[in-house]
Amino acid sequence: MAKRIEVSDLNIYYGNFLAVEGVNVSIEPRSITALIGPSGCGKSTFLRSLNRMHEVLPGARVEGKVVMDGQDLYGSDVDPVDVRRQIGMVFQRPNPFPTMSIYDNVIAGNRLNSKRMKKSETDELVERSLRGANLWNEVKDRLDRPGSGLSGGQQQRLCIARAIAVEPDVLLMDEPCSALDPISTLAIEDLMAELKERFTIVIVTHNMQQAARVSEQTGFFNLNGVGQPGRLIEFNPTEKIFSNPDQKATEDYISGRFG
């Protein structure tokens, strides 16, 4: 299931503005890769370019290669919709569909694509996904209630359940805990540790302790100044980044000397 992603010479643009320049990185399957760096350095932009969500914005485009298991995701014959089916995403702010119940939110990926399923199958999928997202026990008695009635942390786990219900190979998380309290954050970190058995996870976070706690690999993004493109400064095992980084800039950022 989980797949390796190879990124080579990736340049990401907003119109004519080069936002991220020259990223080369290899993301390992069945592991958690964390991306850290100051605001505006292109972490989220890079993350969104991995499942072609970047080009949803008008004028946004990408140069370079993102290869997943030998296939270039930006090849001319690749449908971005298929890419997104295999690479799921969880956003910074929980965004359950307000018109749907908890049950319908979980199977939204299937139902919105009009995939026909038997009632017993969907029931099973909903329970499996909600259990996978550690939410089943909290919502099993009110599956028909609107998803927007849940607390922020529960909503975010509902979004994770929705993302894993379509059985992607890779899960991208864009600061999934930044709007949550420490207890909900812990719940989601525990969940990530379970999910990495099945998925390749890439997480953007501003919380360096979180990166150190959950990830195996860490990438540090930085930019030289306002208006300059962001770059991947260092990509190494998390332990090495946090104890003995190769680059001075990484050490400065992690020890809080700037940014």
Partner 1 sequence: MSTDTQSAPQLSAPQPGPVRVERRLPRFAPLGLFVLGIVLGAALSAATGFSVTSTVVYGVVLGTLLVYVGTRAVEGRRKATDRLVTCLVTTAFGIAMIPLISLVYTVLDKGLARFDGDFFGMSMFRIVGEGGGAYHAILGTLIITLVATIISVPIGLFTAIYLVEYGTGRLKKAITFFVDVMTGIPSIVAGLFAFALFTLLFGNDFRAGIMGAVALSVLMIPVVVRSCEEVLKLVPNELREASYALGVPKWRTVVKVVLPTAIAGLGTGITLSVARVVGETAPLLITVGLITGTNLNPFDGRMATLPVFAFYQLTQPGTATQAFLDRAWTAALVLIIFVMALNILARLISRFFAPKTGR
Chain contacts with partner 1 (rule: CB under 8 A): 51, 53, 56, 58, 81-82, 84-86, 88-89, 91, 93, 95-99, 108-109, 111-114, 145-149, 159, 162-163, 166
Give the position of tokens 């350095």: 41
Using the minimum distance from each CB to partner 1, give the nearer residue, 105 or 218.
105
Minimum separation from the CB atom of position 167 to partner 1 (A): 11
Specify burial of residue 178 (Cβ count, 10 A radius: 0-12, 13-18, 19+): middle
Of 67, 31, 23, nearest in space to 193 by CA: 31
Under DSSP, is residue 42 helix (H, G, I), strand (E, B) or coil?
coil
Minimum separation from the CB atom of position 95 to partner 1 (A): 4
Minimum separation from the CB atom of position 168 to partner 1 (A): 8
Using the minimum distance from each CB to partner 1, give the nearer residue, 93 or 248.
93
Please state, in angstroms and rounded to a whole number, the distance separating the CA atoms of residues 121 and 190.
27
CB contact at 8 A, 198 and 205? no
Using the minimum distance from each CB to partner 1, give the nearer residue, 84 or 157.
84
End-to-end CA distance of the chain: 37
Using the minimum distance from each CB to partner 1, give the nearer residue, 201 or 233.
201
Contacts of 167 (CB under 8 A, 6+ apart): 1
Minimum separation from the CB atom of position 72 to partner 1 (A): 18
Minimum separation from the CB atom of position 104 to partner 1 (A): 11
Using the minimum distance from each CB to partner 1, give the nearer residue, 74 or 91.
91
Single-letter amino acid, residue 28: E
